Each structure stands twice: as structure tokens, then as C-alpha cells.
Amino acid sequence: MELYNTLTQKKEPFVPHTPGQVKMYTCGPTVYHYAHIGNLRTYIMEDVLEKFLRYDGNQVDRVMNITDVGHLSSDADTGEDKMLAGARREHKTVLQIAQFYTDAFFKDCEKLNIRKPDTVVPATSRVADFIHMVEVLLEKGYAYEAGGNVYFDTSKLENYYVFGNQNSEDLAVGVRDSVEEDSNKRNKTDFVLWFTKSKFDDQELKWESPWGLGYPGWHIECSAISVKELGEYLDIHCGGIDNAFPHHTNEIAQSEAYLGHPWCKNWFHVLHLNDARGKMSKSKGGFLTVSLLEEKGYDPLVYRLFCLQSHYRKPLTFSFETLDNAAQAYQKLVQRIAALKADGDPDLEAAAPYQEKFKEALGNDLNTSLGLTVLYDVLKADLTDATKRYLVGDFDQVLSLGLLEAAAKGAKPAGKELSAEEAAEIEALIAKRAEARKNKDWATADAIRDQLAARHVVMKDTPNGVEWHVGP
Ligand SMILES: [Zn+2]
């Protein structure tokens, strides 16, 4: 397949170090709060990538870390410790917080049909490996001790990689903005490998190290876990675009200095999810979670479809209106599949060209929306029902929209099961909402929209007014 590589800023043929065997690493969540649906967009697209690599005939070893220590709120070396803040907020210990939100994260993943990576490693379980890597970096002259901490010396590198369009000027600005003045650093871009001087008096988790009682920097965990679990040559490293700098930049610096050779060839970054307020972020509060979508009556797989409808390298804008469109598309898709007769054998010869088209679409930098188009083409095509069902199941190994399962459960045909009374109630609510919107009474309009969502009503604004149906 061809994939865009953020490191070279080009679409390139994806060739694993050992053909047919892909070593894939994913930066996992920082488990101090629920994941918001913007974070989950990244994990959905990484899941599609993993499943497509398998579909395309590769064996995939995938590793994910769980950041349960030492991740500071600025993503650089400063700011508040997120884990500590979470523990304070909820009057729990850091480890209780970590366990609770790790479980919550994987529950969300399950609802979104995101496969759990084969190997999931909490950072706190690997502190000895981090210490070893820091020791080697010190021995090799890539690190120095200052003011009680150990720093990586970026000036020792031939190339301090920068992703995207960041030039050295942007980089300097980025570093300035995100890092409080730390007079221990020899170079602006240097970063902490091991802290012994915690700014946080009540830092709970500390370990003995050759440099004193302390805790690891954030970046070191991904380098150490990846090298140990996946070996010296990593084929693909994934993450959200926010991770590119400084996290991934610093991972490359550490890993290549430690190994003494190039480390990871391909870097896969998923763009943000925006909402009306801009980039979705936990710090803004009131962020959207999978549970919230469910409370509003959406099947989490509708959100998965919403993500697959766009390309992972474009920012995606979320609104309940666009999610409603995805809900409608999902319901229609399921209805069409439910209408296919279940008996008979598929015509594999007739199916093959569609499988080729599907591979071509996803194999072209993971073009999921084109992949969905191929699925629609199948449903429209002159193929037997058995062949169509076979192809739906085949593509869904990658798309994971639970299409055959949803069809088997029986899609509710639009409006059919509603009594005339219920339909009239819904019509009245929709009219009230339209009135409130006309009067710019957004609070009432939103409250009614929530009531409608709770009844699984999916609305669409058309030139002829609002069209609606009851979603799955
Ligand atoms: Zn990472």
C-alpha cells in the first residue's frame, strides 16, 4: 500500500523491514480522564490501518503504551502533572485513577469496534527499562545531568527531526511557548529523561534511580517500550498530529541515539477533530465522550462511520447535525443489507474485482471514504444477494461497522413502529424546536434536540423543511 509519511512529507510505498511482518507502535492514552471523541478519532483510524494491513496479507504486531506516570499538561517538560491533577480532582490515588480510566478507555474502544492491540504496556511497569535507556544515553554522551535531572542533549544529534512544515523558526517558537525557562538546559530543544526535582510536592509515584528518587520523562516510555517489544526496527509509528512535536521528535532522538541507527521509517498522524469552539480538547471542559453520544441516542458505530467518511489527514469538524447525517447513512446502509436474502453461495469470481477496488481505495493512503463508495457500489451492483453479503462481510473486516450484525438484529424501518400519537408528538417537538431556533432561543432548541435524540429521532434539514426518522 501507499501511505503518507509525516517524516518525509510524501506519500510512499509502505514496505516493512521484514516483508509481510509489520511492527506497529501506537502512543496510548494518558489515563487521567475519559477519552474525548477527538482522541478516539485517532484510534479509529489507526484501527482501520492495522486491519487493512492484515487484510492486505501482512502479519501485524502492534504495541500500545498506557501513560500512567510523568505526563505533564503542556506536553513538554513543564506544567501540571495530569495524573496528579486527576487524582486530586477525584480524591483517589494516582494508580486508582490510572486503572479506572484505562478500563474506561478500552470500554470505549470496544463500543467503537477498535481492536485492542496485542500488547498493551502501562509505563509504570517498565521503569527499570527506562532507567537502562537513560544510562546508555549518558554513557554514549547524548545526555547530561543538571540540577538533579537528566536531560537529552539535542546538539549531539546530526539531525533533530522536525515533522510537517515546522522550520527551525517555528520550532524555536514552539519550544518557547511550551516550556518554562529551565536554566539547566544547554539547548532550547533539550528535554528531560529523568526527573528527581519534582515541582510537585505530593508526587506519589517515585522510583529509585542512579540519579536519586524520581520519575521518568514522558518521551522515554515510548522509545523504551517500542524497542523492547518490537525490536530495533519499527515499521510504523502512529499517533495524533499533536504528538508529532515534541513527543515524536524526541522519541526519534532518544531511540536513534540509543540504537546507533535509523529507527522508524513511517510516521502516521491523524488530524484533529474540531467543534464549534475549535480543536476538541479536554482542557476546555464539557468535552464529548462516547457515553455522552450514547446518552443522546447515538450508536457509537455511527461515530465510527462519521470518521470513516473523511480522510484521516484532514481536520474533521464535528456537529450533531453532521452526526445525524451519518446516523441516517448508517441506518440506510443497514436496511439495505438487511433486505439481502441470506441463502445461497457467493460468486467469488464476481466478487474479486470489487475486492480489488476496495484494496485500491484503502491502499491509497487509507482512503476510507472511497472504500465506503466501493461498498455502496457493491450494494447497487448486478450481483447475487449472497455475493453482496459476502463482500459486505469481507470489507467490514477493515471498516468494522458491525454491518451484518446490525442487519441481523433487524433495522427499524423509518417511522414504521411509531404509533400515530408518537409521531404527532415528535412532529410537535420538531416544530417547537424550529420556532425556538427562529427566535434564537438556542437553549430551548438544544434542549428539544436532546429530547429528540433520546428518542432516536434523526433529523435532516432540507429545502422542504425538516425530514426525520427514528434511527437505529
Ligand atoms: Zn508516545
Give tens-digit pLDDT for 183-208. 889 998 899 999 887 666 667 788 99
How many CA atoms, within 13 angstroms, populate the side-chain half-sphere of residue 417? 10
Between the CA of 412 and the centroid of ligand 1 the distance, in Å, is 43
Ligand 1 centroid to Cα of residue 29, in Å, is: 9
Peptide bond into 13 cis (omega under 30): no
The dihedral through the CA atoms of 402, 406, 408, 409 has a sign that is: positive
- Report the share of the chain in percent with pLDDT over 70: 89
Q: In angstroms, what is the span from residue 30 Cα to ligand 1's centroid?
A: 10
Mean pLDDT, the chain, rounded, equals 88
For 425-461, how does the pLDDT look when each residue is reduced to its tens digit (9 = 90+)?
Answer: 888 998 899 899 889 898 898 888 888 887 778 887 7
Q: Measure 228 CA to ligand 1 centroid, in angstroms.
A: 14
Q: 472: CA distance to ligand 1 center in Å? A: 37
Contact in structure between 26 and 240 (CB atoms under 8 Å): no
Span from the CA of 124 to the centroid of ligand 1 (angstroms): 14
Give the residue with greater pLDDT, 18 vs 73: 18
Taking the C-alpha atoms of residue 429 and residue 247, their distance in angstroms, rounded to an integer, is 48
Cell numbers standing for residue 191: 528535554
The Å distance, Cα 157 to ligand 1 centre, comes to 20
Rounded distance from Cα 14 to ligand 1 centre (Å): 21
For ligand 1, the distance from its centroid to the CA atom of residue 71, given in whole angstroms, is 11
pLDDT band for 421, please (50, 70, 90 cuts).
confident
Q: Any idea what DSSP says for residue 292?
A: H
- How far, in Å, is the centroid of ligand 1 from the Cα of 144? 22
The answer to whether domain 13-270 has CATH 3.40.50.620 is: yes
**How far does the centroid of ligand 1 lie from the alpha carbon of residue 264, in Å?**
13
What would the pLDDT profile of 329-356 be if each residue is shown by its tens digit?
A: 999 999 999 999 988 999 999 999 999 9
> 91 alpha carbon to ligand 1 midpoint, in Å?
27
Distance (Å) from CA 459 to ligand 1 centroid? 40
**Measured in angstroms, how far is the CA atom of residue 25 from the centroid of ligand 1?**
8
Instruction: Please tell me the distance between residue 244's alpha carbon and the centre of ligand 1 in angstroms.
Output: 9
Q: How far does the centroid of ligand 1 lie from the alpha carbon of residue 99, in Å?
A: 19
**What gap in Å lies between CA 31 and CA 42, rounded to an integer?**
16
* C-alpha 248 to ligand 1 mean position (Å): 7
| Residues paired with residue 31 on neighbouring β-strands, in sequence order | none
Distance 66 CA to ligand 1 centre (A): 9
- By the CB criterion, residues less than 5 angstroms from ion ligand 1 are 27, 222
Q: What angle do CA 221, 226, 232 make, to 5 degrees?
A: 130
CA of 274 to the centre of ligand 1 (A): 22
pLDDT interval class at 166 (50, 70, 90): low
CATH class of domain segment(s) 275-409: mainly alpha
Q: How far apart are CA 217 and CA 207, in angstroms?
A: 12
What is each CA distance from 2 to 45, 50, 52, 268, 312, in whole angstroms? 15, 14, 12, 12, 14
Rounded to the nearest whole angstrom, what is the distance from the C-alpha of residue 26 to the centroid of ligand 1?
7
- φ/ψ of 63, rounded to 5, equals -125, 140
Ligand 1 centroid to residue 216 C-alpha, Å? 13
Residues of the chain with pLDDT > 90: what percent? Answer: 65
**Predicted pLDDT at 414:** 40
Ordered by start, the domain boundaries in the chain are 13-270, 275-409, 420-470
Contacts of 125 (CB under 8 A, 6+ apart): none
Q: How far is the CA of 219 from the centre of ligand 1 (A)?
A: 6
**Ligand 1 centroid distance, CA of 225 (Å):** 9
**pLDDT per residue as tens digits for the range 88-139:** 788 888 888 899 999 999 999 999 999 999 999 999 999 999 999 999 999 9
Q: How far is the CA of 34 from the centre of ligand 1 (A)?
A: 18
Separation of CA 28 and ligand 1 centre (Å):
7
Maximum C-alpha span of the chain: 78
In angstroms, rounded to a whole number, what is the distance separating the alpha carbons of residues 455 and 290?
Answer: 17
- 147 phi-psi bin (left φ>0, alpha ψ -120 to 50, beta other): left
Task: Give dist(CA 168, CA 174) in Å, integer.
Answer: 10
User: Is residue 257 within 8 Å of 190, Cβ to Cβ?
Assistant: no
